[in-house]
Each structure stands twice: as structure tokens, then as C-alpha cells.
Amino acid sequence: MNPVALPCAQELFAQWQRARGGRTEPASRPFSRSWEELLEDARLVSATERNEAEHDAQALAASGWIELKTVRYKPHLIDRVIIPLSVEARWCEAFGFVAPSDEEEKKIREFPWKPQLGFVREARLNVAFGELLIINNFIRASDKPLAIVPIKERSLQLFGDEKRLDVLGSSALFRPGRLDLAQHLRCEIIGVPLAWKRGPSAAGAKPIIVIENAATWHSYCRWNAARGHFSAVVYGDGNRFVDGIRYLNDLFLELGGTRPVLYFGDLDPQGLLIPQEASARAQASGLPTVSAELWSYQQLLTLGRGHGQPWEGEPPSSTLCDWLGNCAEPTRQLFAASQRLAQERVGWEFLEGVNNPMRF
């Protein structure tokens, strides 16, 4: 079990680093984090991502990396994640983290950094002098603009480890107003390619639909093969759709031209943020905006009436639901009751009985 490869563990360790704040004295209490807040911070919000994260957390606990505190009277639900004091060194070794010594901190304060890295003299970053020097040397040598490459390629070039820059990228080194991956290191995070299934030939000119979760994607593919409502059914894979939006160009090329892009996901705040963030990135790249597939959301609200699942989190902005058009107000009422609806309610048993619902 290697926590470096797990999104929930990456976020947990990044928060551990920030919480310890460069302290050299031993901590007296173990670091812990609310499970729901950790998932939100790691942007693991879809049903698929949450299930995978829970499986990863259970595996980490079984291997002694963490301890899990469950919800009272609900032992199947995780309440908090804890890094025991006795395994902090193990986490540091796994993530290649060595707290700067007093000597290193003195070198960091006195070194003539490039202006882009000048902030490291005052900031408490928990990043070794040697790694900062590698970044400084790269910036100094980059007099001419370099092509932007995938983050793992740049990480391997700089550190001999394709994953190191992923870890550093979540640290305070890359907070707003400090370093920027694209501007200073000429690299970018590459989203997971979009999985999709082409619709029947008769639907070739119709919109595409993006589905947030795997189970609903499978049911919509099955339904679309028989009904032909969409030219393609795309698997958004939760928040990964935001980074993967660039691959729409490849999909349009395969389909023979641009199509309207519709989206259907969970009715919870993060489920609405995903398509709206993806839409903003799409517009910036000259791609079509992402619109709500309103018929699907209407069915979800109808089928889910009285069956909302409890949801805990910060209240969403008053404008978040505007994207949903005529489904906005019932969704606001759902959120006001601290509830959410999983898109899986619009499942195969319902869809196979629907013949011609679309109004484009």
C-alpha cells in the first residue's frame, strides 16, 4: 500500500505539512481531519470517487498508515481520519519529505533567489533547500519560453521522480501569488482522457451528454443505443471532467464536427460546480459551453422527492443553481434542507420505460 498514489492520502499529507508549519519540536497530538472535509478539499465528490476514496482509506487503515474514527451508531460511515504520531516518519519517508534543518532554513533566508522565488525567505514551506534550488536553477535557465509539457514529464526532468511535482504542487509553494506551474515551470496537469460511447448513426448530429458517475453512464449508454437521443455519451468521471474538457476536441473530430454539450450529474453543490467550472474552461479554449440536460434533472427531482440524502457542508452561493434553469428553485429548496440527490436514481429500470422524452 503506497499512499503517494492515492488522491485522499495526497491531500491528507499536504494538509499535515501545512498544519505542522515547519515545527521542529515533536507534536503532542496526532493530526486528524474530518472525512467529509478531506473529500471536499481533495475534490473527490462523485459517487465513484467517494467509493474509491473510502476503499483506499480502509486499505490504508488496514496497513497501519492511518486510524479511522467512525460515526457514532453508524460504524460503516467514516467520521475522521487520523495520522498517528508513531507513523508520521513513515508518511514523510513515503512522500520524500524532510523538514528543513536550522542550517537549511538559514541558507534559504540568505540565498540570492530569483525574484519569482523571493517569497521563500519569509514563508514557512517545509520544502528542502535542495529542491528549491532545483526550481530556482530551472527558472534561471529558462530565458526563452519553453513549451508547456505534462507535469509528470517536468517532474522527472527536475527531480528524477515523475510524482514529486504533484506533491509539491499541493504545497504552500504554489499558493496564489507564489509559483505557478504553467508560468514558472512550463508544465500543466493533464486530465484523464474522456471515455465515451458513440450513439446510433441516426443520432449523429444530436448533442452529446456528459454523465458524472460510472453506473449512470452505463445505463445512459444502454438507453441511448436503443433510443438514439445523443450522438455520444461521455463519462465525466466526477471532477476529472474539469481537467479533461480539452479532450472534447478529439471527440468532435471523431463525430465529424462540434455538437452541443449537455451534462447530468448529482444534485449537490459540488455536482453543480463541476460542469460550471468545466464550462468556463471550455469557453476559454473556444469549445462549446456546458449546459444542463434539464430533462434528466427534472426526472431526478421527481424520482427523488422525499428521498434526499443528508448532506453536510458549507451552504452554496445563491447563484450556483441558476445554471439549472427551471430546475433551479426546487434544487435550492433541496439544499436548504441540507439534502442531496444521487443521479443513480435515474437508473436503467426507469429509463427502459421511457420512449421519447427529449425536447431539444
Q: Where are the domains of the chain?
A: 1-99, 100-190, 195-351
| pLDDT tens profile 345-357 | 999 999 998 876 6
The pLDDT of residue 357 is 62
The domain over range 195-351 is classified in CATH as 1.10.3720.10: no
The pLDDT of residue 67 is 94
Check: CB of residue 126 under 8 Å from CB of residue 35. Answer: no
Mean pLDDT (the chain, rounded): 88
The pLDDT of residue 360 is 42
Amino acid at 114: K
The pLDDT of residue 143 is 72
The pLDDT of residue 29 is 87
Matching fold, domains 1-99 and 195-351: no
Strands 149-150 and 74-83: unpaired
Report d(CA 49, CA 177) in Å as an integer.
30
- The residue with greater pLDDT, 210 or 13, is 210
Per-residue pLDDT band at 36 (split at 50, 70, 90): confident
Strands 290-292 and 261-264: parallel
Check: CB of residue 190 under 8 Å from CB of residue 151. Answer: yes
The answer on pLDDT for 45 being more than 80 is: no
The pLDDT of residue 358 is 60
Check: CB of residue 23 under 8 Å from CB of residue 105. Answer: no
- The residue with greater pLDDT, 70 or 100, is 70
Q: What is the mean pLDDT of residues 188-204?
A: 90
The pLDDT of residue 75 is 79
Q: Which helix (H) or strand (E) holds 262?
A: strand 261-264
From 1.10.10, 1.20.950, 1.20.120, 1.10.8, which CATH number describes the 1-99 domain?
A: 1.10.10
- CB neighbours (10 Å) of residue 298? 18
| pLDDT tens profile 225-245 | 999 999 999 999 888 899 899
The pLDDT of residue 295 is 96
Q: Half-sphere exposure of 296 toward its Cβ, with a 13 Å CA cutoff?
A: 29
The pLDDT of residue 26 is 64
Describe the chain by its helix, strand, coil percentages, rounded to 5: 50, 15, 35
| pLDDT tens profile 4-35 | 888 889 889 888 877 775 555 567 789 999 98
Per-residue pLDDT band at 172 (split at 50, 70, 90): confident
Report d(CA 236, CA 20) in Å as an integer.
36
Per-residue pLDDT band at 260 (split at 50, 70, 90): very high
